[in-house]
Structure 1
């Protein structure tokens, strides 16, 4: 485990330095990127927020999300924002190796190319040298991070005149997917959260780390776990392999009033139990559900570099981070996911009233 934490620390170092200047990349010439701070009253710190946006020419080429395992995605640091107003997508990442905003550049950049502003906070304690099992399992803080990011975007002088403030959606992957559901109105059941890691039946990778970190979920202060995190400014939510979905009060799904699109990666029987979304899709009044059968939970990671599977095995990562469902490449799966997400948010946020 110590070896894994060292690897995560190295990944955080790489992710934190990804705004270094790179060679220009034509594919990203019309996507700008900026860093802003969103103050979290509850955490008492500034959240680091990465924002991708439609851009005019200019800025400096940067590579985002690159690590020893994953390829990066180019964008233009500090480029002027394009004329006009754009819908806003609030993006929530997962935990672990993809536990920072820039790890999702592969999906944020094409959304910006299609005319969306995409803002993603890095949820504190979910990755890198400061990764904390306690902070990671405070799931109720994540939707609050999204709300604070929206507050900051609404007041940011660079973006405020370029946002369609009544057209806001949220997108989450893995633990970010459960974050999207929470901000749409689903409520965590504190008792279910306390018992989540009593066995390895639901999430052996996460729960093994929680126990090795000496964290007892039953002993955590879960007073705020079941609170209402709904943000009514958000008009649409999309969740890809949301996890953990089994800590929510099931009846709360029926009270979600906005449209929700749910996607599972994999075939029935191969989708992680804790990410199964078919039943909750039936419980949400205005929800759609689909699957990508030849994908896996790891398909939401960026494309792997040559030699990454062998490196991950050598570094004792434990999870098959470069394996998909078989058949297509990760790039092909990403193309389908990007098309699916772009179409969903275009219908929800761009269609004429």
Structure 2
């Protein structure tokens, strides 16, 4: 969504979960792919806002009031996006006004997006972490494996996941030391950091949290994700 993203579209997680369910529909019924997909062993992996979508398709429900209150108090990271300024449409920069999260469709934001075909979820720095309804988390029956990037002093408040893991009945928690939120992204090409600065990008997309290379951080992440899915879905990945 980097070239087609606005603050008003960002909280519409019901569109993302609908897309995920549509992919499952297509893959399990397609004449070519259907025989290669085990409909009883479907897992979902999500990072950041994708982690929020993965949370919701697994059964979590978020409170709009709780999310709006969080952004009232915490105006950094994800919440800074709603302060207005710029958005993107068809790869072009557009001006957008400040978004009042309370104007989002509350019924849709808080609806259940559960797809029972999903049997396991791995959530890496999942977005909306302060806003999930506790009762909905307690009702999730599938394995929920949470991974945070960084240490307790560097993980952004909006994605801190240890408490979510403690609430989910089959939740586990791990963290990758020496990483930051953007360490999940692909390795930057030579000169990438400089190019981003020249274009006005303020997020440290090419930076990591310490002395470890992004390739090393990715290797640890892949190991964690693979072992989580193999354990949850009972088979090699």
TM over 0.5: yes
**Residue 81 of structure 2: aligned partner:** 209
SS of the residue corresponding to residue 165 of structure 1 reads coil
1:195–1:218 Cα contact (<8 Å) kept: no
Q: By how many angstroms is 1:205 displaced? A: 3.6
Trace 1:17-96 onto structure 2 (pairs within 5 A). none
**Mapping of residues 1-353 of structure 1, within 5 Å:** 126-128=1-3, 130-199=4-73, 201=74, 204-212=76-84, 213-214=96-97, 215-351=99-235
**What secondary structure is seen at the aligned counterpart in 2 of 1:143?**
helix
Q: TM-score, normalised by structure 1?
A: 0.60
Superposed CA deviations along residues 19-55 of structure 1, whole A, max 9, x for unmatched, are xxxxxxxxxxxxxxxxxxxxxxxxxxxxxxxxxxxxx
RMSD of aligned residue pairs (Cα, Å):
1.7
Shift of 1:207: 2.8
Partners of 1:220 and 1:191 in 2: CA distance: 10
> Relative to total residues, which structure has the larger strand share, 1 or 2?
1
Q: State the 4+ residue runs in structure 1 displaced beyond 4 angstroms.
A: none
TM-score (norm 2): 0.89
Q: Identify, as 1 or 2, the structure richer in helix.
A: 2
Contact 1:171 1:239 in 2 (8 A): yes
Gaps of 5+ in 1: 1-125
Q: CA deviation at 1:190?
A: 2.2
How far, CA to CA, are the matches of 1:182 and 1:157 in structure 2? Answer: 29
Q: CA deviation at 1:196?
A: 4.3
